[in-house]
């Protein structure tokens, strides 16, 4: 009984990790798109002057 529970627990952990990694890929894609759009939108909104669109 214990080995079956351990296998089920391992499967659940691996499934959760796989879902989390897939979700993190989508978050990374969204952040990349927002970052890239910042280079296009900010100079146009700034009157053509160069400047940073982010604050560190």
Split at pLDDT 50, 70, 90, the class of 29 is very high
CA angle 54, 30, 13 (to 5 degrees): 125
Taking residue 53's Cβ as centre, other Cβ atoms within 10 Å add up to 14
Distances (CA, A) of 8 to 20, 22, 25, 36: 18, 21, 26, 42
Give residue-wise pLDDT tens across range 1-24.
888 888 889 888 888 888 888 888
pLDDT more than 90, % of the chain? 9
Which positions ≥6 away from 42 have C-beta within 8 Å?
51, 52, 53
Global pTM reads 0.56
Would you kindly state where each structural domain of the chain is located, as residue ranges?
A: 1-45
Split at pLDDT 50, 70, 90, the class of 42 is low
- Give pLDDT, residue 28: 92
- Give pLDDT, residue 55: 57
């Amino acid at each position: 009984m214990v080995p079956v529970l351990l296998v089920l627990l391992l499967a659940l952990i691996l499934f959760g990790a796989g879902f989390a990694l897939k979700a993190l890929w989508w978050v990374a894609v969204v952040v990349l798109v927002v970052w890239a759009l910042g280079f296009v939108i900010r100079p146009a909104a700034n009157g053509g002057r160069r400047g940073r669109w982010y604050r560190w």
